[in-house]
Amino acid sequence: MTASVVTADRSLHARRTLQRPVHLPSWVPAAAGLAVLLILWEVIARTIAADKHIVPTIPNVIDTMVSDGFYATGVSTTLGEAGRGFLWGNIAALAVAALCLLAPPLKGFLTKLALATYCTPTIAIAPLLIVLFSPDNAKVTMAGLSVFFPTLLGALVGLEGAPRTALEFVHVSGGSRLFALTRVRLRAAVPEIAAALSLAAPAAVVGAMIGEYLGGDQGLGVLLVQAQQSLNVARAWAVAIEATAISTVAYLVISMIARRMAYTVTSTEFAVAPSRRAKRGLRQSGLGVVRFVLSVAAVLGAWYLAVVLSGMDNYIAKTPLDVWHYLATGSDAGAHRHLIASGIATTLTDASVGYAAGTITALIAAMLFLNSSLVEGMFLPVVMTIRAVPLVAMTPIVALVCGRGLLTVAVLAGGVTFVPTLVIVLAALRSVPKPATDLLRVYAVGRTRALFTVRLAYAIPALAASARIAIPGSILGAVLVEILVTGDGIGYSVATSIGSSEYVVLWTALAVLTAVTAFIYLLLSRIEAALIERITL
């Protein structure tokens, strides 16, 4: 009997062993997803696009890349410009973040000024920077501007999220704000700053390539222009893929360094305590309006002083007074307002198409990833790589494949919207409070019904938060398409004003575009805060 029991136990153990789930390494699904995309690319190149000369085969792209020597000179040029912009842009961002904490009264002005740099598409100010600075300095400046606001935002989130108990201990011990910044806040902000830096690296490459694309004699952007003009489709794809690979490697390397620098949090305290918003009366609302007006006036004053004190040529550099005269008091002010307003309307329409396309695609992808861990493991790493794709590198490729119409606008502007919306919404769909999920389980609510009735409701504030990031990006994509592809909208006004030396048109277009984008950003910030406050009540 003992032998039979032992035999039965062994048989049961064997069955349990056979039924034990197999856990694949994390890289296996990702490799499978990449393989699926490469196979799909090759199939399309050999069937649908075989005679259209728009999608080359993978062997053709590899042969071109190898025969061209992997564009070593262009890579070194672009990396040099992007590296310097990455360095100076991040130093400036960290310095401004520290100044905001050391001198709180300056925070409103500094953040509004930084927001202006974020809301001004780099592709739109590139022609102006090329005129005002040397070609090399213009590219470095564009790379620096591309990384400045994201790093500043990440640094402020991290520095302001330091444990309150530690900050209070420093305060009661007589420690200064500088001591708290260097000994407490900076250490607590390591994860957020590292994440911002990992996103800033691809952005620096994009900024440098935009400068090369619009004016230069070396670099990957120049190679892309030459390939496009000579109708060498394989080379254009090769340059775009190599630029994407460089950005991806930079992103992954900085992310790896960030993980090694991370430390284990031993406190159970929330990093950011929920704010208690008092009911706003007329006095508080009035003070808010006054602060906003003063911040805008400070930004305009900084613009005026920068033009006057820098000694720039008045023919090229324009002040806010010049823009006001062009739009309001000049002899043809009405025609000028119509020109700018029609351009802005076209650009906002293009950006809306891109934002809608990217958001809908992101919501569908988030639902698929939520319901299938296999699909998520296969394609989420590929999706995350999209954030490292230089938009200016893909514009000629997308224009070749999709034409010069609204479809190209939807693809490019939607691509900028897709990744941040997917990441933020997917995290929100998974962060539904446990009591809500327990209630769904008790009532045997299916996954699909739970998704549309409960999870999406909790994801609405996240959708507003993603819009705050994605809509300025979709405007950037729309302006880029207008300059390089469609020849319409405010992007076209920016491009043509340089060729015709109408610099007041250029400065006015940039000022109005920045003001409109900043207004949308601030409006979405208020909507996000209101939604969060309503849910937390």
What is the rounded (10 degree) CA torsion for 246, 382, 455, 372? -160
8 Å CB contact between 378 and 33: yes
Which of residues 240, 265, 290 is at a domain's end? 265
How far is residue 177's CA from residue 170's CA, in Å, rounded to a whole number? 9
Element (H, E) at 385: helix 373-386
Low-confidence ranges of the chain (pLDDT < 50): 1-9, 12-21, 265-279
Q: Mark whether 203 and 72 lie in a shared domain.
A: yes
* Full-model pTM: 0.74
Q: Does some domain include residue 19?
A: no
Tokens 């990449």 -> residue: 34
pLDDT at 233: 85
pLDDT at 276: 45
Residue 110 one-letter amino acid: L
pLDDT at 387: 65
Q: Does some domain include residue 395?
A: yes
Q: Does some domain include residue 35?
A: no
Q: Does some domain include residue 30?
A: no
Q: Does some domain include residue 3?
A: no
8 Å CB contact between 400 and 389: no
Whole-angstrom CA distances from 500 to 40, 425, 486, 505 are: 45, 45, 19, 10
Q: Mark whether 467 and 368 lie in a shared domain.
A: yes
Q: Mark whether 320 and 241 lie in a shared domain.
A: no
Helix (H, G, I), strand (E, B) or coil at 447: helix
Q: Does some domain include residue 39?
A: no
8 Å CB contact between 85 and 140: yes
How far is residue 246's CA from residue 239's CA, in Å, rounded to a whole number? 11
Structural domain of residue 184, as residue ranges? 51-265
8 Å CB contact between 531 and 464: yes
Which of residues 232, 248, 265 is at a domain's end? 265
Nearest to 181 by CA among 200, 195, 198, 167: 167
Provide the number of structural domains found in the chain.
2
Kindly write down the DSSP assignment for every residue of 136-158, as one continuous string. Answer: HHHHHHHHHHHHHHHHHHHHHHH
pLDDT at 278: 44
Angle between helices 220-229 and 72-102 (to 10 degrees): 130
Report which DSSP code applies to 502. Answer: -
pLDDT at 269: 46
**522, exposed or middle or buried, with CB in 10 Å at 0-12, 13-18, 19+?**
middle
Q: Mark whether 347 and 448 lie in a shared domain.
A: yes
Q: Mark whether 390 and 520 lie in a shared domain.
A: yes
Q: Count the neighbouring beta carbons within 10 Å of the beta carbon of residue 380.
A: 19
How far is residue 96's CA from residue 83's CA, in Å, rounded to a whole number? 20
pLDDT at 400: 75
SS3 content of the chain, % helix, strand, coil (to 5): 80, 0, 20
Tokens 């007041």 -> residue: 504
Q: Does some domain include residue 22?
A: no
Q: Mark whether 207 and 350 lie in a shared domain.
A: no
Q: Mark whether 257 and 319 lie in a shared domain.
A: no
Helix (H, G, I), strand (E, B) or coil at 409: helix
Residues contacting residue 183 through CB under 8 Å, at least 6 positions apart: 170, 175
Q: Mark whether 81 and 162 lie in a shared domain.
A: yes
Q: Mark whether 250 and 361 lie in a shared domain.
A: no
Q: Mark whether 203 and 348 lie in a shared domain.
A: no
Q: Mark whether 366 and 470 lie in a shared domain.
A: yes
How far is residue 188's CA from residue 181's CA, in Å, rounded to a whole number? 10
Q: List the CATH number of the domain containing 90.
A: 1.10.3720.10
How far is residue 11's CA from residue 142's CA, in Å, rounded to a whole number? 68
Q: Mark whether 366 and 425 lie in a shared domain.
A: yes
Terminal alpha carbon distance of the chain:
65
Which of residues 234, 265, 296 is at a domain's end? 265
How far is residue 332's CA from residue 311's CA, in Å, rounded to a whole number? 29
- Phi, psi at residue 26, to the nearest 5°? -65, -25
Q: Does some domain include residue 115?
A: yes
299-323 pLDDT, tens digit per residue, is: 888 888 888 887 777 888 888 999 9
